[in-house]
Amino acid sequence: MKKTLFLAAAAAATLFAAGCSSDEPAAASADSLTVSSAWAKAAESGMTGAFAELENTGDTDIHIVSAASPSSARTEIHEMAAGDGGAMVMREKADGLVIPAHSTHSLAPGNDHLMLMDLVEPVLPGTELTFELTFEDGSTTEFTAQVRDFSGAQENYQPSAGAGANHGG
């Protein structure tokens, strides 16, 4: 009798939980991200940086795991950190970028940014670059960035383990 009562209670709890759940899928991270004020630094060759305001309008944190652009062979999410000898250097953020719910994160010179490596052609002022961000949940979003002349952001690049010895800023 006790076993039957327990099984009936467990079944009722399962049905109740199923009845309370939503049939709507969870919102994709890409749906919660707004990109504004996007721009990239002009460069003839090598590498350059891209910057923007990233706003998470959703109720949960979003995790950007990678970036891509047809303008470069490789696009990485970078941070500024203390390197050997204490000098600030830029390097890839191995775990990507997390933007907390209802907050904004700036990609800016001297801060986190997108790094376009091995440019496939010159990045000229007045043109636009296209980017695609990929989130931990597999969703993606695209945005464009206006290319501008900018003399700042001459940081040193510290390649991640196994990467080539690229330098510049």
DSSP for 53-82 reads EEEE-SSS-EEEEEEE-TTEEEEEEEEEEE
* Bridge partners, residue 157, by sequence: 90
Is 138 a member of any domain? yes
Q: 7-11, 75-79, 123-127, 137-141: lowest mean pLDDT where?
A: 7-11
The span from the CA of 158 to the CA of 162, in Å, is: 11
Identify whether 2 is part of a domain: no
Total domains in the chain come to: 1
Q: Of 9-13, 57-61, 65-69, 142-146, give the lowest mean pLDDT range.
A: 9-13
Q: Residue 143 above 90 pLDDT?
A: yes
Provide CB contacts within 8 A for 106, sequence distance 6+. Answer: 51, 53, 54, 112
State the Cα–Cα distance between residues 70 and 111, nearest whole angstrom. Answer: 23
For the chain, what is the mean pLDDT? Answer: 82
Structural domain includes residue 85: yes
Beta strand spans in 83-139 (E): 88-92, 97-99, 103-107, 113-119, 128-135
Question: Average pLDDT of 18-27?
Answer: 52
Does a structural domain hold residue 164? no
Instruction: Give the Cα separation of 34 and 57 in Å (integer).
Output: 7
Domain range spanning residue 80? 29-151
> Residue 151: its pLDDT value, please?
77
Residue 20 domain-assigned (yes or no): no
Which pLDDT tens digit goes with each residue over 27-58?
799 999 999 999 999 999 999 999 999 999 99
Closest-CA residue to 123 (of 30, 45, 25, 26): 45
Q: What is the CATH number of the domain that holds 51?
A: 2.60.40.1890
Would the pLDDT of 2 be above 70? Answer: no
| pLDDT tens track for 52-107 | 999 999 999 999 999 999 999 999 999 988 778 888 888 899 899 999 999 999 99
Q: Which pairing describes strands 62-68 and 128-135: parallel, antiparallel, or unpaired? A: antiparallel
pLDDT tops 70 at residue 156: no
Predicted model pTM: 0.75
Q: Is residue 47 part of a domain?
A: yes
Residue 44 belongs to a domain: yes
Q: Whose CA is closest to 52, among 24, 31, 33, 26?
A: 33
- One-letter identity of residue 22: S
